[in-house]
Amino acid sequence: MSGTPAGMSEDEPVAGPSPEGDPAETLQDEEEPHGRLQEVLSARRQKLERLRAKGVQPFALSFTKTAEAAGLHARFDVLGPGEDTGELCSVAGRIMLIRRQGRLSFITLRDRTGDIQLFMTEAGSGQAYDLIDDLDLGDIIGAHGHVMKTRRGELSVAVEGLTLLTKALRPLPEKWKGLRDPEARVRHRYLDLASSLESRRPLMARAALLKAFRKVLDERGFLEVETPVLQPIAGGALARPFVTHHQALGLDMYLRISLELYLKRLLVGGLERIYEIGRTFRNEGVDRNHSPEFTMLEVYQAYGDYGTMMELTESLVAESARALHGSLQFPFKDQELSVEPPWPRITVLGSLSKVLGEEIALDRPDLATLAERRGVPVDPRRVPGKIVVDLWEHLVGPTLVQPTFVMDFPRDVSPLARPNRRDPMLTEHVDPYMAGIELGTAYSELTDPDDQRARFEAQQEARRAGDEEAHPLDEDFLTALEHGMPPAGGLGIGIDRLLAILADAASLREVIAFPHLRPESGRDS
């Protein structure tokens, strides 16, 4: 990319009239008075009618591009000032800036890869030059011409032909600063993306992360599959589901809270290495680390265990870091994180005991009192394992900055994990943590159908006692287990959370294209 700010050439005037006039260029749809906005909308409509009267189609069918901004910069930024390649190309994108100086005009064009300048003269551009009077910032155009550099060194396409592809009937946000209101940036993501190249980076990072995940898994022989989003029983996690109704079948259904139980059915069916990347839904709160709709990776490997899944997690995260940063070290907030394997491993009870300075055991009768003293209010009727985990999440989890595996969760909070091989009151359940955030979870999977039934029945007792997030009893899944599921390791990773850390984002909504927000109020229609 050229180093000249905003695509402006030093050949251009410092200031000059735009087709709409300077005030309209900096109009903020969300911030300007209603009357002012209506003036601008009316002016654009008038131009639309003028174009049609001239026989110009303001909403074209298609256009053939032969080059993009980034590719042109990569090939021709080495040109010297005033040098002309004579190479013809066709480019297309959105107008981000128009500057006019006598019989010269300069347009900054933005495509998916970046910005390129269009250089227009009355003599060289012919009839295309007359079109400028009816162009506005935000219009989408196509241009044909030869690649050159201006005398002051700005890479440009010297335009010989210009085509209006889409007339923008509303103005973009301020031309270089973009949307200033953080909420407006996510509420009107399309405007943020159109006006700020930087805002596109999280979406590009997401694509790179998913590609890295698939690369690791495909190379290890995993098969990518899809399972139902609408499910008759919301299982596989402890969470409150969204409820909907299937009209044709006449039954209530749930948006899935996990991918787990259907993937395990595929293990029963003989698909030994499988994964799914899919949307998951939990009817819960929204904050910087939680979204009701999020993307999960779930992986299952027959004949593996939670140790297998820890090694796989390290590989997945390391490959993602390389894809985004070219390194296993990267900045996050004011720290430097390193995802180089192997990651430290700690246990829930051991790390909590260390922080509290006393031994914590699941059979301690004063767990609820202990939690209250530490500022963690809990219902005394909660099972011991949940109290321990509440304490741990309050006191230990936020302190885990560098990648760490937290192992051996209580049986009470892990209804789908295999009993720990050393202590049956615990399970082979491990959570990877980084930057104080849980990235996901992994299990040595429970394959004993009788044990699984007993766990489900214990969850029903918790549900009857008022726990809305307790796991439901799934008879069809139990039947599948009775047909025999091989020993297996399972892994789930929250892609949005991992991406927020790798991209050093302030919150999840920065890395989700269209996050859920409360409806706007008090806006002019």
Task: Give residue 288's pLDDT.
Answer: 75
Q: How many CB atoms lie within 10 A of CB 282?
A: 22
Fold exhibited by the domain 200-344+402-510: BirA Bifunctional Protein; domain 2 (3.30.930)
The distance of Cα 33 from the centroid of its chain, to the nearest Å, equals 33
Q: For the chain, list residues with pLDDT below 70.
A: 1-34, 174-180, 521-525
The residue whose two tokens read 């009267």 is: 53
Matching fold, domains 5-196 and 200-344+402-510: no
> Which of these, 132, 94, 111, lies nearest to 18 by C-alpha position?
132
* Strand segments (E) across 421-469: 429-434, 437-438, 440-444
Classify 5-196 by CATH class.
Answer: mainly beta
Task: Give residue 472's pLDDT.
Answer: 80
Domain residue ranges of the chain, discontinuous segments joined by +: 5-196, 200-344+402-510
Digit-coded pLDDT (tens) for 299-331: 999 999 999 999 999 999 999 999 999 999 999
Q: How many CB atoms lie within 10 A of CB 84?
A: 12
> Which of these, 145, 16, 2, lies nearest to 69 by C-alpha position?
2
Task: Give residue 192's pLDDT.
Answer: 86
Residue type, 386: K
> Which of these, 257, 420, 452, lies nearest to 348 by C-alpha position?
420
CA–CA dist 416, 339 (Å, integer): 28
The DSSP annotation for 340-385 comes to: PSSPPEEEHHHHHHHHHTS---TT-TTHHHHHHHTT----TTS-HH
Task: Give residue 34's pLDDT.
Answer: 65
From edge to edge, which strands make up the β-sheet containing 251-255? 230-231, 251-255, 243-246
Task: Give residue 160's pLDDT.
Answer: 95
Three-state DSSP class for 491?
strand
Per-position b or e across 30-60, b if 16+ CB within 10 A of its CB: bebeeeebeebeebbeebbeebeeeeeebeb
How buried is residue 137: exposed, middle or buried, by Cβ count under 10 Å (0-12/13-18/19+)?
buried
CB 180 within 8 A of CB 128: no
**Sequence-ordered list of residues with C-beta below 8 angstroms from that of 268, at least 6 positions apart, any chain:** 480, 481, 483, 484, 485
Task: Give residue 33's pLDDT.
Answer: 58
CA–CA dist 154, 160 (Å, integer): 18
Task: Give residue 518's pLDDT.
Answer: 78
Rg (CA), the chain: 29
> Which of these, 151, 21, 45, 167, lies nearest to 94 by C-alpha position?
167
CA–CA dist 140, 167 (Å, integer): 7
> Which of these, 290, 281, 340, lies nearest to 315 by C-alpha position?
340
Paired with 140 in beta bridges are 94, 166
CA–CA dist 203, 184 (Å, integer): 18
Task: Give residue 189's pLDDT.
Answer: 85
Paired with 251 in beta bridges are 246
Digit-coded pLDDT (tens) for 162-186: 999 999 999 987 644 456 677 777 7
The DSSP annotation for 117-185 comes to: EEEEEHHHHGGGGGGGGG--TT-EEEEEEEEEE-TT--EEEEEEEEEEEE--SS--SSTTT---SHHHH
Do strands 84-101 and 140-149 pair parallel, antiparallel, or not at all (unpaired)? antiparallel
CA–CA dist 484, 462 (Å, integer): 28
The distance of Cα 223 from the centroid of its chain, to the nearest Å, equals 23
Task: Give residue 305's pLDDT.
Answer: 97
CB 18 within 8 A of CB 167: no
Phi and psi for 77 in degrees, rounded to 5? -60, -20
How buried is residue 63: exposed, middle or buried, by Cβ count under 10 Å (0-12/13-18/19+)?
middle
Task: Give residue 14's pLDDT.
Answer: 33
